[in-house]
Amino acid sequence: VTGVPPSLSAKVVGSFAYFTVKDRLPTILTKVIDTIHRNKNKFFEEYGEEGIEAEKQTIGLLSKLRNELQTDKPVLPLTYGRQDTEPWNQYLQRQVEVQGDPESVSWFKSPWLYVECYMYRRIQEAVWLNPPINDYDVFNEGKTQSFFESQQAVIAICTYLEGVRKHIEELSKNELLEHFRKLLLVSLWGNKCDLSISAGKENSQKTSPIDSLNDLEPFILVDDSNMVWSSLLSAQKPVQPGKTTPGRVDIVLDNAGFELVTDLVLADFLVSSGLACEIHFHGKSFPWFVSDVTANDFQWIIRKVMAANHMWMSKSGVQWQRYLKEGVWCYHDHPFWTQPHEFCDMAADAPDLYATLQQADLVLFKGDLNYRKLTGDRDWDHTVGFDTALRGFGPAPLCSLRTLKANVQVGLQPGQADKLTSQDPDWMTCGKYAVIQFYSPKSE
């Protein structure tokens, strides 16, 4: 289609996509292989010889995968899955049709977004194909470790939350706005702590995030937080004269560990302050991009926070469990989140999910990968509007909370990108910068 820039791809030698496919993805694969190998004894203890055999087979498949990637082989159809094999293979078929030749749909020649998603799906295929270890989460160790390493920061934000909650009834609108903005920023910067950009290397939050917010302010390139606030206020619906009910907020989660805690704290604040009446969380249905949240991670973290040896932390956890039990909070996963599609395809390719999001008054998209999918991971000019880059995607008012880790960024002021490049040539991939970018289909 005219006017739509090409997808980022490793075919551009020297680009971040090229560097990722050439170096970062093989590093991640090697770590996965090491993790499985290191757990050999555990598999033996649990499953005996069968466990050892499964370990060997899984490693064999993963080594083969790494070899396909490194020698730029064509992307192969999937052979096994849980209902999602067909959409993946249809996607591949479409790529082949566009290229006109299966050989050219290879790791270095295809869209980066596609091959990177495909790698995680193939890792999962290798695990699924090998009972009895087929429920093993190859990224679990890193995710749990990153949570434990950010204990102090978790305590700090839970303590802040409980402090706000105690006086919530007495807060003026301005005070409420101030707390809202702080917790939105905490959730934004929580996205720094993903384990994919660091290729699985330890990347946790050590200091109290609340105290660093002022210092981080200059690194926010676009700040639409006031529009997010207004969208919450305008979602309040009158029920009786003088009485309103707040709207529903959906959070499309990104990483487990510290980032997830920041999202839960924000969600708690939205409900306890009456800014939202319901929160729907969306996670991944299998381990994804090293640190993304699965249903297991979600339950695990709430249990850990609840059982913590710190009064305010455990109080928060108990409250979160209660929200879930009462249905004020709920967790969903949908296969679409672990597919390679740009979000502008959602209405056609996952209409049920699109309809679910349409029920929300605000959808928060966490993290870098969601931003890449919102904007199609394309080589957009930096001054193109966020609305243009969304290409018709807009089930509800939405906001991206993202620290920049990939070279796609839209919605900047003329000259802003050039200035950044001259100060900090890797501003788009170093994870130091962030955006809060809002779009509402209602304003069109």
Min CB(367)–ligand F6P separation in Å? 3
Site map (CB under 5 A) of Mg ion, residues 180-209, x = contact: --------------x---------------
Q: Three-class SS of residue 329?
A: strand
Residues β-bridged to residue 276 = 247
Q: Is the peptide bond before 132 cis (omega within 30 degrees of 0)?
A: yes
Nearer to Mg ion, 116 or 361 (CB): 116
Assess 254 for contact with ligand F6P (CB under 6 A): yes
Which residues inside 3-22 make contact with ligand F6P, applying CB under 6 A?
Answer: 20
Number of chain residues interacting with Mg ion (CB under 5 A) = 5
Assess 406 for contact with ligand F6P (CB under 6 A): yes
For residue 406, the partner it binds in Mg ion, ligand F6P, none, with Cβ less than 5 to 8 A by kind, is: ligand F6P
Binding region for ligand F6P (CB under 6 A) out of 64-72, 134-142, 192-200, 322-330: 192-200
The structure tokens listed for 260 are: 């997830």
Assess 434 for contact with ligand F6P (CB under 6 A): no
Site map (CB under 5 A) of Mg ion, residues 234-253, x = contact: --------------------
Among 120, 139, 281, 289, binds Mg ion (CB under 5 A): 289
Residue bearing tokens 């699109």: 354
Assess 367 for contact with ligand F6P (CB under 6 A): yes
Q: Are 383 and 368 in contact (CB under 8 A)?
A: no
Residue bearing tokens 């210092």: 215
Among 187, 196, 225, 400, binds ligand F6P (CB under 6 A): 196
Nearer to Mg ion, 255 or 338 (CB): 255
Which amino acid belongs to residue 107? W
Among 369, 398, 410, 436, binds ligand F6P (CB under 6 A): 369
Which amino acid belongs to residue 408? V
- Enumerate residues 6+ apart whose C-beta is below 8 A from 93: none
Which residues inside 283-322 make contact with ligand F6P, applying CB under 6 A?
Answer: 289
The structure tokens listed for 95 are: 């790529």
Q: Where are the beta strands (DSSP E) in 152-299?
A: 220-223, 237-240, 243-245, 247-252, 276-283
Min CB(126)–ligand F6P separation in Å? 20
Instruction: List own/partner pairs for 54-60 with CB under 8 A and 24 or more apart.
Output: 54/130, 54/131, 54/132, 54/133, 54/134, 55/130, 55/133, 57/129, 57/130, 58/126, 58/127, 58/129, 58/130, 58/133, 59/33
Assess 292 for contact with Mg ion (CB under 5 A): yes
Which residues make up the interface to ligand F6P (CB under 6 A)?
20, 24, 116, 191, 194, 196-197, 254-255, 289, 367-369, 372, 405-406
